[in-house]
Amino acid sequence: MKVTLDMTIEEIVKADSRAAGILADEGMNCVSCASASGESLKEAAEGHGVDPVMLLRKLNFRLNM
Amino acid sequence: MNFAIIFYILGSVIKIEGILMLFPAAVAGIYREMSGMWFLLCAAVCIATGFLMSRKRPENCAFYAKEGFIMVSLSWIVLGLIGALPFTLSGEIPFYIDALFEIISGFTTTGSSILTDVEALDHCMLFWRSFSHWIGGMGVLVFVLAILPLAGAQNMYLMRTESPGPTFGKLVPKLQQSALFLYTIYFVMSGIELLFLLAGRMPVFDAVCTVFGTAGTGGFGIKNTSIADYSPYLQAVITIFMFLFGVNFNFYFLIIIRRVKDAFRMEEVRWYFFIFSAAVLAIAVNLTSLSGHFISNLHHAAFQVSSVMTTTGFATADFNQWPVFSKTILVLTMFIGACAGSTGGGIKVSRSIIYIKSTARELSMLIHPRSVKVLKTDGKAIDDGVIRSAGAFLMCYVLVFAVSVLLVSLDGMDPSTTFTAVAATINNIGPGLEQVGPTANFSIFTPFSKLVLMFDMLAGRLEIFPMLLLFSPRTWKRH
């Protein structure tokens, strides 16, 4: 699965549940957040002060393992 | 010190760099990227400057070890200083120190990057990054020697300094022929890898840049996820070719001249294969004991060991997340490195063999002080000078490593980040662990630390001594 910046958090976690743990490592407890279905990965990352591109790299690396 | 010949050869190197810059300019033309004009401008200035500097061959063409070492160090520094200009002038990497870090990482085939979003760069910039690996892989100076009509045994000093490993033996009596042989093998292997990648439906641009990174064992990817997004077939091809480019090129020469038995008897190559196999198996078993399928783990283990041991630095997995045992194996293979006479970095397998045999001999002499033991490799006695030189190399390596860790630690990063940042640069690997792991980059460091790490990259690529000699006043004396 290839994650992109415009995917919502809900879409990413539904596609691969391991994503929840990776997001939590970055302080983004998005699974329990009401914005999960509406916010894109880019928006969520920026909202939490996390570099979106770095987060995208981590997700794509780890979810491909 | 023959300054005239240094000036002359530097001029040739600058001229060649200018010519090489025409390739990314051509890529910019294909993709219609305005940033390509900076390559044209830099190429024009370099060719003109280099032509003026090398217009007249000096009367005294003699150069020996001292000139050789200085030549090599200055050439690589100048290559970096000029090579960084298109990045900064175009605004793609606006801060010059960052651009310098990136291109020195390219030419030294390290692959450490300060870029967060690699994919945001223009194609011509990505091409130049990757191309610098291919150029650096075999050493620009060896290339210069292969084509410049500087005759005589003096060229041996330049080639010995440039060529990685504890001993350099000519493949054939004429030095220029040796260089041409090495380049031919390099070109042919690059071409074969390209064909295999294209057969796996990798886009042409991706394939060319990947070949550059593999052949030079550099590791600059053009994707933010390095090689992780490509198919298992493509990852397997890259695994095999990274391994092959880490083999001593004498091995291939022996096969070409039909001395196949001698090739497979090369002790260093056999040890290289053994270390690689053992590391892959150990990591695959370790990963499988925790999660995942053995075959998938074996695939990723093979890729990462091949990548780290040859000091390429490509990644298909975030090995920062692997268990400590697996990460430790990777760090150990970082230091051992590839074979001498290859494009790989690290301490080199042949030196490791010398250290192990010397240590065994010393231990034996503790018990039998009057015994006489000759160290041998490939059935031949190892010259005492080689053993002494290998020992001196190790001491200098440890000294540079320790001082670098101390200086970089001023940035206040965690010990693992600091230690592996230096390890990754001095061994010309690329990624380290923690905050310089495969999903991260080197942008976290201050400009001072980046300069230290650049020195480490150059020291590692040039095998320490040429960079250290720059600081010796005796080196610069005329007589």
Rounded (5°) CA angle B273-B375-B168: 65
- All residues of chain B having their beta carbon less than 8 Å from the beta carbon of residue A5 are none
Could you please report the per-residue DSSP string of B170-183?
Answer: -SSSSHHHHHHHHH
Do B116 and A53 make contact, defined as CB atoms within 8 angstroms?
yes
Q: What is the pLDDT of residues B241-259, one digit of tens each?
A: 999 999 988 899 889 889 9
pLDDT in tens, B161-208: 555 555 445 545 566 677 778 888 899 999 999 999 999 999 999 999
Closest CA to B87 of B56, B128, B117: B128
The alpha-carbon gap from B109 to the nearest alpha carbon of chain A, in Å, equals: 22
Q: How many CB pairs under 8 A join A and B?
A: 40
Determine, for residues A57 and B224 on separate chains, whether the beta-carbon distance falls below 8 Å: yes
| Å between A7 CA and nearest CA of chain B | 17
User: Is B224 an 8 Å CB contact of chain A?
Assistant: yes
> For residue B18, what pLDDT is reported?
96
Mention every residue, 6+ apart, whose C-beta is less than 8 A from residue B392. Answer: none
pLDDT tens for B78-97 read: 999 999 999 999 999 999 99
What band does B145 get if pLDDT is binned at 50, 70 and 90?
Answer: low
Cα gap B414→B428, rounded to integer Å: 21
Quote the pLDDT of residue B271.
94
DSSP string, B129-160: HHHHHHHHHH-HHHHHHHHS---STTHHHHHH
CA B52 and chain centroid, separation: 30
- For chain B, say whether A60 makes contact (Cβ under 8 Å): yes
Looking at residue B378, its pLDDT comes to 74
What phi and psi, each to the nearest 5 degrees, are found at residue B371? -75, 155
> Measured between CB atoms, does A57 come within 8 Å of chain B?
yes
Q: Give, as one character, the DSSP assignment of residue B339.
A: -
Using a CB-CB cut-off of 8 Å, the residues of chain A touching B228 are 60-61, 64
Contact B31, B121 (CB under 8 A): no
Mean pLDDT computed over every residue of chain B:
88
Instruction: Name the residue with higher pLDDT: B71 or B280.
Output: B280
Query: B224: distance to nearest CA of chain A, Å?
Result: 6
Q: Which residues in A lie closer than 8 A to residue B436 (C-beta atoms)?
A: none
Strands (E), B267-422: 376-377, 380-381
Please provide residue B165's backbone torsions phi and psi, each rounded to the nearest 5 degrees.
Answer: 125, 165
Strand partners for B56: none
| pLDDT recorded at residue B249 | 87
Give me Rg for the CA atoms of chain A: 10
Q: For A65, which of B116, B229, B318 is closest by C-beta distance?
A: B318
Structural tokens at position B239: 């695994």
Whole-angstrom distance, CA of residue B24 vs CA of residue B17: 12
Does A61 lie at the interface with B, CB-CB under 8 angstroms?
A: yes
Measured between CB atoms, does A51 come within 8 Å of chain B? yes
Is the Cβ of A2 closer than 8 Å to some Cβ of chain B? yes
What is the spatial distance between Cα B236 and Cα B394, in angstroms, rounded to a whole number? 34
Say if the Cβ atoms of A61 and B438 lie within 8 Å: yes
B390 pLDDT band, cuts 50/70/90, is confident
Partner-chain contact A65 B300, CB within 8 Å: yes
Q: What is the pLDDT of residue B478?
A: 64
Burial of B248 (0-12, 13-18, 19+ CB in 10 A): buried
Partners of residue A62 in chain B, C-beta under 8 Å: 317-318, 321, 439
Residues of chain B contacting residue A2, judged by C-beta atoms under 8 Å apart: 229
Specify the pLDDT at position A62: 84
Is any Cβ of chain A less than 8 angstroms from the Cβ of B315? yes
Split at pLDDT 50, 70, 90, the class of B153 is very low
B117 contacts in chain A (CB < 8 Å): 53
Closest alpha carbon within chain A to B225: A57
For chain A, say whether B117 makes contact (Cβ under 8 Å).
Answer: yes
DSSP strand pairing (B380-381 vs B376-377): antiparallel
Tell me the chain B residues in contact with residue A55 when contact means C-beta distances shorter than 8 Å: none
Average pLDDT over every residue of B375-401: 83
**A25 touches B at CB < 8 Å:** no
pTM (two decimals): 0.89
Task: Report the residue from A2, A51, A58 with minimal CB separation from B318.
Answer: A58
What percentage of chain B exceeds 70 in pLDDT?
A: 91
In this prediction, residue B424 carries a pLDDT of 94
Least confident of B87-101, B130-144, B221-235: B130-144
Contact A65 B317 (CB under 8 A): yes
pLDDT of residue B4: 84
Contact B439 A58 (CB under 8 A): yes
The tens digit of pLDDT for each residue in A4-56 reads 899 988 889 888 888 988 888 888 876 666 666 778 899 989 988 888 888 99
Q: Comparing C-alpha atoms, which of B347, B312, B346 is closest to residue B130?
A: B312
What integer pLDDT is reported at residue B333 of this predicted model?
93
B399: enclosing H helix or E strand: helix B384-408
What's the pLDDT score for residue B415? 95
Inter-residue long-range contacts of B324-332, CB under 8 Å, 24+ positions, other chains counted: B325/B282, B325/B286, B326/B282, B326/B283, B326/B286, B326/B287, B326/B301, B327/B433, B329/B279, B329/B282, B329/B283, B329/B305, B330/B279, B330/B283, B330/B304, B330/B305, B331/B420, B331/B423, B331/B433, B332/B279
Nearest to A61 among B116, B292, B318 (CB): B318
The pLDDT value given to residue B155: 46
